[in-house]
Amino acid sequence: MTMVLETIGLTKQFGGIVASNNVSLQIAKGARHALIGPNGAGKTTLINLLTGVLRPTGGRILLDGEDIGNLPPHKRVRLGIVRTFQINQLFGDLTPLETIGLAVSERRGQGLDWWRIVGSRPDLVTEAVEILERFHLTDVIDERTAVLPYGKQRLLEIAVAIACRPRVLLLDEPAAGVPEDERHEILAAVAALPDDVSVLLIEHDMDIVFSFADRISVLVNGALFVEGSPEEVASDARVKAVYLGEEAVDA
């Protein structure tokens, strides 16, 4: 089993607070890997470290064996590490079509084209529409993102990430804040992710975690606590203790 993304002893300190404590995580190629843990465990910090938004105080990050620790965020995206945000980070004034179109255009290296009119490349438009169809966003394709219902925005958040053709996709609580009647669309989208994309999913909802993941890592106080298959983690007494008071962990 080849590792596509790996961290070795990754640590992040803010003054006296240790947000990430010597985390050594391996994500296998094609994985459906979930990262769970109580609030404040450092899950989003880890994502920020992996994507380059934060610089680690110690440790290394390897993508296909190459150290990417010194690369700025946009370069890591170009290498295939793409994330979604826990709170939607979208372009409020752009339409979904423009947003996806932009992502595709950037991925194809045509982002610096200052002469051609947007929309004049049929293959790019086709790809953008195809992605939007896949995520059931065609009914809002030409509306301002800021006025879309939250569920649609969340779908767009994932669609933008997919438009970047990631090798490793870091999903930060994709279903967070989404109303009940719109959740199934999100879950279906997550379940339908291509097989060649390796996914690291951060979630609180255990139903999603157990239906999705083939491997689970538990993060507590910034450190890796327990790792294993869903069955192993579900039956681990320590995990149950950590989650005492939260949803019961069902196998």
Binding site for other proteins (CB under 8 A): 51, 53, 72-75, 77-78, 82-83, 85, 89-95, 97-99, 101-103, 105-107, 110-120, 122, 125-126, 128-130, 133, 138, 141-142, 160, 163-164
CB 114 within 8 A of CB 175: no
**Cβ distance 154 to 87 under 8 Å?**
no
Shortest CB 158 distance to other proteins, Å? 13
Retrieve residue 226's tokens. 């327990």
What is the nearest approach in angstroms of other proteins to the Cβ of residue 119? 3
C-beta of 128: minimal distance to other proteins in Å? 7
In terms of CB distance, is 165 or 240 closer to other proteins?
A: 165
Diameter over CA atoms, the chain = 61
Of 58 and 92, the one with the shorter C-beta distance to other proteins is 92
- Closer to other proteins by CB, 126 or 229: give it: 126
In angstroms, what is the minimal distance from the CB of 11 to other proteins?
Answer: 20
Locate tokens 């490349």: which residue?
Answer: 121
Q: Which is nearer to other proteins, 195 or 250 (CB)?
A: 195
Q: How far is CA 80 from the centre of its chain?
A: 12
In eight-state DSSP terms, residue 140 is: G
Helix (H) / strand (E) element for 220: namely strand 215-220
Token pair of 90 as six digits: 């979208």
